Amino acid sequence: MSAHTEHSHAHGGPAVYTANLIGLLILTGITVGASRIDFGPANTVIALSIATVKAVLVGLFFMHLKWDKSVNAIIALAGFLFLGIFLMFDLIDLNNRRDPLPRNTPVLAAPTAVPESMNPLTTPAPKPWVAPAKPVGEAEGEHEGH
């Protein structure tokens, strides 16, 4: 008897994977189209929503969560839940900041004038490198001691 046993259910097939591919390509086109339109503050929400739908499609079909035990789907959903919580707190924190720079960033001094010796408009260009000439009497391929 072989070690490989038949599954009691089908794991998709070419038709399912082709439909999934077409769906992912359409969603990628929607993502590109949405990136060219300014929706204001909704840009991030739209981009994350499309990315979530694409991730769910990949998880269900390519990671076989649709046909696997339900505990694996619960673990995957918990990952999405914690990612959502993390992003929510991240965006809340960003929206509550008056100055986006960290407080420990030193204040930069005003720019100073560039010295004349460093100004590319007034400094002459360096001379190009020239290979030294070969000594007279030394031909190509000749070496001393031969």
pLDDT digits (tens, 9 = 90+) for 33-64: 998 999 888 888 899 899 989 988 998 888 88
pLDDT-derived band of residue 144, with 50, 70 and 90 as boundaries? Answer: low
Contact 53, 34 (CB under 8 A): no
Please give the Cα distance from 85 to 77 (Å, whole number): 12
Mean pLDDT of the chain: 78
Please give the Cα distance from 91 to 99 (Å, whole number): 14
Residue 33: the pLDDT is 93
List the chain domain ranges.
14-95
Contact 60, 66 (CB under 8 A): yes
Please give the Cα distance from 9 to 16 (Å, whole number): 14
Alpha-carbon distances, residue 21 vs 34, 50, 76, 119 (angstroms): 20, 15, 21, 56
Q: How many whole angstroms from its chain centre is CA 122?
A: 41
- pLDDT per residue as tens digits for the range 95-121: 777 766 666 756 666 666 767 666 666
